[in-house]
Amino acid sequence: MGRRWRDGRGELVVHGGEGPSVRVPLEIATSYRARTKGLLGRDSVDGAILLSPASGVHTFRMRIPIDVAYLDRHLRVIAVRTMRPGRLGMPRLRARHVVEADAGVMGAWGVREGARVEVVAGSGGGL
C-alpha cells in the first residue's frame, strides 16, 4: 500500500471521532528539501504539515511548540506527542509518515492513537 504524494497542498481528513469527519488544510512535504525545512522559521501553522516518508522529528531551531502524530503505512495514528522547541523526538519503528501542527490542536481534531486519517491531495500535490 505504497503512497506517493508530491509537495503541495491538500486536506487531512480525520476519521473515527464522534460526529462527522474533520477536514484540516494540509501542506504536503515529500521531497528531501521540503521535509528538511518543515516548520523551521515559522511562527504558526495554517492547519498541518505531512512529512513523508518520516518516522521521527526534531524541533531544533523551531520557534513554536508542536503536536506530532506518527502514522503507520495504513494512515492509522500510532502515537501523538506535544514537543517544545529544541527537542529530539523518539523515532517510531512502525511510523511511515508524520503530521505536525500547532500544539494543542490535534486533540480538538480527533487525532489520537488508533484514529485513521486520510490525505486528500489538492492542486500541486498528487497521489
Of residues 36 and 118, the one with the higher pLDDT is 118
The arithmetic mean of pLDDT across residues 14-19, rounded, is 77
> Which pLDDT score, from 0 to 100, does residue 1 have?
44
**Cα 6 to Cα 82: distance, rounded to the nearest angstrom:** 26
> Which pLDDT score, from 0 to 100, does residue 32 have?
92
> Which pLDDT score, from 0 to 100, does residue 125 have?
44
In the block, which residue shows the cell 518520516? 54
Residue 3 has pLDDT above 70, yes or no: no
Residue 58 carries which DSSP code? Answer: B
Residue 97 has pLDDT above 70, yes or no: yes
Residue 127 has pLDDT above 60, yes or no: no
